[in-house]
Structure 1
Amino acid sequence: MVEGSGKFVPHGKHLIAGQWVASDRTFMSSHADGEALEYYAATPDLVDRAALAAEDAFWTYGYASREDRVAFLDAIADEIDARADHINWIGAAETGLPVARLQGERGRTTGQLRLFATHIRDGDYLDRRYDAALPDRKPAARHDLRMIQRPVGPIAVFGASNFPLAFSTAGGDTAAALAAGCPVVVRGHFAHPGTSEIVAEAIAAAIEACGMPKGVFSLIQGGDHDVGAALVQHPLIKAVGFTGSLGGGRALFDLCAARPEPIPFFGELGSVNPVFLLPAAVAARGSEIGAAWADSLTMGAGQFCTNPGTVFVAEGTEGDAFVAAAKSALAKIDRQTMLTDGIADAYRRGCDRFAAHSEVGDLLTAQTEGRLVGPSLFETKAGTYLQDQELGEEVFGPLGLIVRFDAASDMQKLAKSLKGQLTTTVHMDEADTDLARSLMPILERKCGRILVNGFPTGVEVVDAMVHGGPYPASTNFGATSVGTLSIRRFLRPVCYQNTPLGILPDDLV
């Protein structure tokens, strides 16, 4: 139900096979602004209904023409844009994110849907291959062989806390699965159930307008751990997309692996996204880099999975200038609202853990109150960092750690010590080329995206983007959750040998 201009009042129900469904359980939202609202909570029985509907829809949607899927993706984008005012209102109320941020994220979400529509229309994602028969080859003839990528079946998607649009109900995983030809069951994130609901309404409207099978998309919300477990363990679910914490993601990953039929779990679990400051760059513009890093570190209250939480910089006066500039810039940044009470509490615990470390200096103490938090800045030596693995673990929020080293050769040791990352960044000038070249083979093994003279808080939705990396940044180092290559996660190759043209998939003829 909608009241007034821009105000969306959710009904709190689940969308399953085109029907809005209640349950005998409820949960309360936790609004950053305004009164909390009641929603019906999911149950394993509702998971089963959604998965059965998705499987039924697959026999139609999985074999629909690319043009039909193009029209569907474009229609979802149009329906989301048509609800812009309501999305802005409920999204801001739930998350505390500014309207400008939500508008940008909505544009990213609809732009991604339209990009995927264009991509599947072109057909390159099918990776079609053909080896003609060689009947006269000796000593044995070769068969006619054709290969194409085919959709795997129903996909489960878990909405992310930090992106209520771009990584949630109609976000990257959902868009990629639908583009591939796979129905989707989304479990909305408890941090923004109203936003999830209105986006689900947009998808439902697109299903109706395009004549798609009702079970091609379902949304369930809330529920206990048994709901998440039921979803990833349901025998009709063939892959899972997840963006969230390492602990939660690893638990679901293990459940997927333990199934009688193990399935792929494409989890994006975050990282500290280290920044390497090379000597010539620090000498030329260390203060400038320090101020820019502070801006990137605190963007969105530091609640980006690409937040550059750790910086490696040499000892000495030039490194000191970087530290001073970063500290000064961070001290001027006002407190910001975090997405949930739980995220704010976890941030405080992370700050306390660093502050209690005997070999870590506290340069700037976070000022926090409820969901309002300020930035924190800590400093330690390379030797301490190398010996204590906990210093390399992500603290979700605007916490920065500066690691000081003695010699340029220490940078290779620090780079080799890193766990898997989404990104690594190098700030360099021309005089740093040889040192940067020596780091590149290490950084390539450690992350999915390498940046030079920039900051990673900004992930373009384009063909060449990689948003993933070695574990624990993600659970599948060969995949990306952003960009057109993400569609390939929900496809598998099928080879057709000596198959008559009349029964081959239309896309292969």
Structure 2
Amino acid sequence: MTFTPHGKHLIAGEWVGSDETFQNEPAQGPADRFSMGTVELVDRAARAAEDAFWSYGYGTRADRAAFLNAIADEIEARAADITEIGCRETGLPEARLNGERGRTTGQLRLFAKTILDGDYLDRRHDAALPDRQPLPRPDLRLMQRPVGPVAVFGASNFPLAFSVAGGDTASALAAGCPVVVKGHSAHPGTSEIVAEAVLAAIRSCGIHPGVFSLVQGGKREVGSALVQHPLIKAVGFTGSLGGGRALFDLCAARPEPIPFFGELGSVNPMFILPEALEARGAQIGQGWAASMTGSAGQLCTNPGIAIVPEGAAGDALVTATAAALAAVAPQMMLTAGMADAYRAGKARLDASNSVRPVHTTDSTGRGVGPNLYEVSAAAFLSDHGLAEEVFGPLGLVVRASSTDAIVELAHGFAGQLTATLHMDAGDTGAAARLMPVLERKAGRILVNGYPTGVEVCDAMVHGGPYPASTNFGATSVGTMAIRRFLRPVCYQNLPAELLPEDSVGSE
């Protein structure tokens, strides 16, 4: 059965329309109309979230876990319709949407398990020492508590896993924080059907309906009103550097500044070390081409830059990468605007006198082909614009003359989500020189792999120094993501009747 959107916002359990509407731009099939978000709707949603916090934020972990699992169940119950409208709106293939839906429900279930386990509470207890000299010590307990209502901005490139019920929402709800989602206008129908799943879970679990709201579309002032609303206590965002930085600045300028957890993008450099290059350069190039073009390169971990030693072995890697890219058919980008931005990034490289085109394609509309360029290390270091992300299937090879040059290049990068080393045993010395630099530059360091494909698990870090993210101590993927929406509270000499039930759960 084909899902037909009704085009309304979900505000505290009610589907609400608005006078102004907008139209989506599906990759295939007819367009649909959706109500446009307003500042007034943001206010209603935030007030409902605050009202819900007093019950949801102080409820039991078991109830919250049941709610998260119920959301996952309701999403799976709508699996076919979610895939159908997701493919229609985004142009992503069915297999990608099915996999992303599994990741979304997996995240929800993982956070349900995490909060039941209780380790995330970081409970600590220093018993009283009344006889200590020269001064007694009071009884001290510490645990993590939810911060309050959270705003989440849906991502364009992940209509499920980083959007309405994605990792930001899942971790906030797990922490005990109600959520107000600003849906992305690239896939409002997909956002709507996932919001229906959340609403069904709210009703089946008897949760306060203010725990979740979805505001669709809206002009810039709607997003600004959301992050500036005095009842919103934290923000989760995945998107562009420009948009994220603007919202970050608004959060910092509030009378009560709040944390803005923005994941803003990365070029994810790969460092190809000499022995690995000699042994399997062509294989590495082919793998890079596959990683670079997956999902039309519209992944925040897309490896956009490869540092390759000069010489014949490096030439062979470049040739193998170009040959693999030549076999990749044009792919549909998520929006016409993204395709235009990709062509603008390509044009910037085409206009550079220091950059050599290796494999180039022309495109129109939302369909784009892959592109590959090459530049010397000296030219790359002298032009900071070459290190800027081009969102799409485009790669830049930076040729380095020595290990010293490779290390210098590593120092020159801004903050990254990932950095990758391709190495063999004989490259260990060079890799050891790079490691201290890469640890300061990236949130995740890989060896002999490709950064696309982010495992959802306890040890994952999806974040990094600015501009990869706005908070280098946080991650938006993995169970540690829950920490973004918690704060430590210390309880001194409180009688047992006043302590939160969870504060003594580990004793």
Q: Name the TM-score, length of structure 2 as normaliser.
A: 0.99
How big is each residue's C-alpha offset from its partner over 1:114-156, in whole Å with a ceiling of 9 and x where there is no partner?
0000010000000000000000111100000000000000000
In structure 1, C-alpha distance between the alignment counterparts of 2:61 and 2:109, rounded to whole Å: 13
Residue 48 of structure 1 pairs with residue 49 of structure 2: no
Letter of the 2:76 counterpart: D
**Partner of residue 378, structure 1:** 373
In structure 2, C-alpha distance between the alignment counterparts of 1:89 and 1:300, rounded to whole Å: 17
- Between the aligned residues of both structures, percent identity stands at 69
| Structure 1 residue 364: Cα displacement | 1.3
In structure 2, C-alpha distance between the alignment counterparts of 1:18 and 1:143, rounded to whole Å: 45
**Partner of residue 507, structure 1:** 502
Matches within 5 A, 1:42-441: 42-441=37-436
**Partner of residue 451, structure 2:** 456
How big is each residue's C-alpha offset from its partner over 1:362-420, in whole Å with a ceiling of 9 and x where there is no partner?
11112312000000101000001111111000010001000001111111100000000
In structure 1, C-alpha distance between the alignment counterparts of 2:211 and 2:468, rounded to whole Å: 30
**Partner of residue 471, structure 1:** 466
In structure 1, C-alpha distance between the alignment counterparts of 2:364 and 2:247, rounded to whole Å: 32
Given the alignment, which residue of 16, 19, 24 partners 1:29?
24
In structure 2, C-alpha distance between the alignment counterparts of 1:143 and 1:320, rounded to whole Å: 68
Which blocks of at least 5 consecutive residues in structure 2 are unaligned?
Answer: none
In structure 1, C-alpha distance between the alignment counterparts of 2:351 and 2:25, rounded to whole Å: 31
SS at match of 1:409: helix
Whether contact under 8 Å (1:335, 1:367) holds in the other structure is: no
In structure 1, C-alpha distance between the alignment counterparts of 2:26 and 2:153, rounded to whole Å: 20
In structure 1, C-alpha distance between the alignment counterparts of 2:363 and 2:50, rounded to whole Å: 47
How many aligned positions are there? 504
Whether contact under 8 Å (1:243, 1:267) holds in the other structure is: yes
SS at match of 1:313: strand
In structure 1, C-alpha distance between the alignment counterparts of 2:374 and 2:388, rounded to whole Å: 15
Whether contact under 8 Å (1:367, 1:375) holds in the other structure is: no
Letter of the 2:423 counterpart: M
SS at match of 1:305: coil
RMSD, aligned CA: 0.4
Whether contact under 8 Å (1:160, 1:168) holds in the other structure is: yes
Letter of the 1:161 counterpart: S
Letter of the 1:263 counterpart: I
In structure 2, C-alpha distance between the alignment counterparts of 1:270 and 1:25, rounded to whole Å: 32
How big is each residue's C-alpha offset from its partner over 1:43-69, in whole Å with a ceiling of 9 and x where there is no partner?
000000000000000000000100000
| Structure 1 residue 35: Cα displacement | 1.3
Letter of the 1:329 counterpart: A
Whether contact under 8 Å (1:309, 1:400) holds in the other structure is: yes
Letter of the 2:148 counterpart: G
In structure 1, C-alpha distance between the alignment counterparts of 2:444 and 2:46, rounded to whole Å: 35
In structure 2, C-alpha distance between the alignment counterparts of 1:377 and 1:366, rounded to whole Å: 9
- After the TM superposition, which parts of structure 1 deviate over 6 Å for at least 4 consecutive aligned residues? none
| Structure 1 residue 17: Cα displacement | 0.6
How big is each residue's C-alpha offset from its partner over 1:295-330, in whole Å with a ceiling of 9 and x where there is no partner?
000000000000000000011000001000000000
In structure 1, C-alpha distance between the alignment counterparts of 2:403 and 2:501, rounded to whole Å: 57
In structure 2, C-alpha distance between the alignment counterparts of 1:225 and 1:318, rounded to whole Å: 50
In structure 1, C-alpha distance between the alignment counterparts of 2:340 and 2:185, rounded to whole Å: 16
How big is each residue's C-alpha offset from its partner over 1:57-97, in whole Å with a ceiling of 9 and x where there is no partner?
00000001000001000000000000001001100000001
Whether contact under 8 Å (1:29, 1:192) holds in the other structure is: yes
How big is each residue's C-alpha offset from its partner over 1:170-202, in whole Å with a ceiling of 9 and x where there is no partner?
000000000000000000000000000000000
In structure 2, C-alpha distance between the alignment counterparts of 1:401 and 1:26, rounded to whole Å: 41
In structure 2, C-alpha distance between the alignment counterparts of 1:77 and 1:263, rounded to whole Å: 29
**Partner of residue 33, structure 2:** 38
Letter of the 1:231 counterpart: L
How big is each residue's C-alpha offset from its partner over 1:414-459, in whole Å with a ceiling of 9 and x where there is no partner?
0000000000000000000011011000000000000000000000
In structure 2, C-alpha distance between the alignment counterparts of 1:89 and 1:415, rounded to whole Å: 43
How big is each residue's C-alpha offset from its partner over 1:247-297, in whole Å with a ceiling of 9 and x where there is no partner?
000000000000000000000001000000000000000001001100000
| Structure 1 residue 36: Cα displacement | 1.2
Letter of the 2:406 counterpart: M
Which blocks of at least 5 consecutive residues in structure 1 are unaligned?
Answer: none
In structure 1, C-alpha distance between the alignment counterparts of 2:144 and 2:48, rounded to whole Å: 24
In structure 2, C-alpha distance between the alignment counterparts of 1:100 and 1:380, rounded to whole Å: 36
**Partner of residue 480, structure 1:** 475
In structure 2, C-alpha distance between the alignment counterparts of 1:174 and 1:184, rounded to whole Å: 7
Letter of the 1:485 counterpart: M
| Structure 1 residue 24: Cα displacement | 1.1
SS at match of 1:300: helix
How big is each residue's C-alpha offset from its partner over 1:315-366, in whole Å with a ceiling of 9 and x where there is no partner?
1000001000000000110000000000000000000000100000111112
In structure 2, C-alpha distance between the alignment counterparts of 1:404 and 1:425, rounded to whole Å: 16
In structure 1, C-alpha distance between the alignment counterparts of 2:26 and 2:361, rounded to whole Å: 23
SS at match of 1:149: strand
